[in-house]
Amino acid sequence: MKKWTIIFSTLLGLSLVSNASAAGSDTAASSSTIASFGTDWLTKTDGSFWIWDYNQSVPTQIPELTGATGSYPGGLVVMGDQTIKQWSNDYYTPVISVKQVRGLSSIQDVLVWNNTLVADDGGAVYTKVNSDDSQSQSEVTFAPVTGIDNVADIEMYTENRSDLIEYRHLFLKKDGTVWRDNGELQAFEPIQNLHDIVQIAENYALQKDGTVWTWPATFEEENPPASASAAAKFTALTHIKTIKHDLRSTLAIDNQSRLWFWGGTVTGYSDGWVYADHPDPVLITSIQNVKDAFVVEHSLIVQTLDNKVYSTSVARDAMPANPSFVLLASDISKIKNGGRHMIMQKKDGSLWGWGVNKNSELGYGDYEFMHDTPVPVQKPVAVSLNGENVPFTAGVITRNGQNFVPLRSLFDKLGAEIGFDGTSKLATVTRTDPSLPALKISVNAKSGQTTLNGQAVTLTNKPFTVNGVLYLPLRFISEKLGATVEWLPKEERIAITLK
């Protein structure tokens, strides 16, 4: 399962996504059909649930998740009847699977790393059980973790001991104390001197009074004494409102809406990145009125109080106090950070993506490795046939105002026979109803050239291929097969009627 997670490696560093995003908490502008969204999913006001990534290059509906009330990291979804399900999509095939979750009755916070940890509403912690052949493959099971309770937030951090790296789970309890484990969920201990804590990020903790506390995470010896890990006040920062850790960098925003940066910067090139750690916070003076900030791939992203979004590079020897910022977008109300990409929502409700896109993380409908200017996430367009929703394995792509659907997604339901010659790359749609005149549409998957009963047809927008999937113009094919097509803009739905 790869959802909302950037896996730790010695080259890329550690980015962990916890903190749930409930579906009802991100209400969009009233003119939009989008009710809530994440970095690879969205829900619409009609209750439908959509995802993109891997073989779904644009938002694609998962009918089994209609009526979801909350969506969380790891593909976990809380349904309206309080049951919990988990979705996943596949790197190699367009299959989207949905499994029932056992052992959980609620979700407060989720951490996805080597395994998935969940804190429920009561503060109990659960871990995902690795399945084997004896277990049902249609279910996912979570088991309780003993020795820790009353948890409000789960994070993770690393300890460097001589040439050894250890990973520790970090738990913020509802009473404001912070606990950690031995890395294997087997033993738990409180971090000394921490109380009234409201946020944790890597080995830093924000106290309710605005002070920041930290404890050692790097040791020369392999087995340092317990006293070496007690927290101490981080005197470089005061009056802080929020802290966060992204990849190798740590950020803080103070009560004057100023941004502080410390931790990792990067130099070099792909497969040869060199990371440097800068433990002293730098006050960024070249941007003010900071509302939020993130590190996305090798960029520092800042959202200001006037809802503009700026970027500057983290790929440098050290972060200066006055880096030059570039304006990326305006009128942005919310941002969701996926580590290597981000999804932004404008005040009009539309979604825009920016960053790494090699697995179509931006929902734009292509697989360009990266988009360094924001691109629109395709609208979640539904298709109904004679009033019934038609599920697709890949969503509708709109280009130049025309809607296209995957070759095998619909037309067989309209009474057509679908064929594809892998050698010639020629797709055919043939009407099989003997009571109607013979009809055959041929489409060259390489050139997009189309013929109707052997005669060349000029289309405003040619068919095209995305990730090996041929997309055909929905209206043209449907109407030639004898159906009527109606676009319902308020519902973002295409209604097809076949008598």
pLDDT at 397 over 70: yes
The predicted pLDDT at position 8 comes to: 30
What integer pLDDT is reported at residue 25 of this predicted model?
38
Residue 18 is predicted with a pLDDT of 42
Least confident segment among 214-223, 365-374, 439-448: 214-223
- pLDDT at position 304 is 98
Domains plus CATH for the chain?
382-497 (3.30.457.10)
Read off the pLDDT of residues 283-333 as tens digits, 9 standing for 90 and up.
999 999 999 999 999 999 999 999 999 999 999 999 999 999 999 999 999
Query: Which residues, 6 or more positions from 477, have their beta carbon under 8 angstroms from its beta carbon?
Result: 411, 414, 429, 441
Residue-wise burial string across 326-362, b where 16 or more C-beta atoms lie within 10 A, e elsewhere: eebbeebbbbbbbbbbbbbbbeebbbbbbbbbebbbb
Report the predicted TM-score, pTM, of the whole model to 2 decimal places.
Answer: 0.91
Higher pLDDT, 131 or 179: 179
pLDDT (0 to 100) of residue 362: 98
| Residue 145: predicted pLDDT | 98
The CA-atom distances, in angstroms, between 413 and each of 162, 224, 389, 407 are 63, 67, 12, 12
Residue 354 has pLDDT above 80, yes or no: yes
Structure tokens at 332: 């942005």
Q: Looking up tokens 């399962």, which residue turns up? A: 1
pLDDT of 27 above 70: no
Please state, for a pLDDT cut of 90, what percent of the chain lies above it: 81
Binning pLDDT at 50, 70 and 90, where does residue 454 land? very high
Exposed, middle or buried: residue 439 (CB in 10 Å: 0-12, 13-18, 19+)? middle
Position 256 pLDDT exceeds 60: yes
Q: What mean pLDDT value characterizes the chain? A: 91
Q: What pLDDT was estimated at residue 226?
A: 65
Q: How far apart (Å, rounded) are the C-alpha atoms in residues 372 and 496?
A: 38
Rounded to whole angstroms, how far apart are CA atoms 404 and 61? 15
Stretch 203-215: mean pLDDT: 97
Query: What pLDDT score does 377 carry?
Result: 98
Instruction: Give the per-residue pLDDT at 101.
Output: 97
Average pLDDT over residues 85-110: 95
Which among 382, 309, 251, 353 has a CA at the least distance from the CA of 39? Answer: 353
The two tokens of residue 93 are: 């095939």
Mean pLDDT over 439-447 rounds to: 95
Q: How confident is the model at residue 133 (pLDDT cuts 50, 70, 90)?
A: low
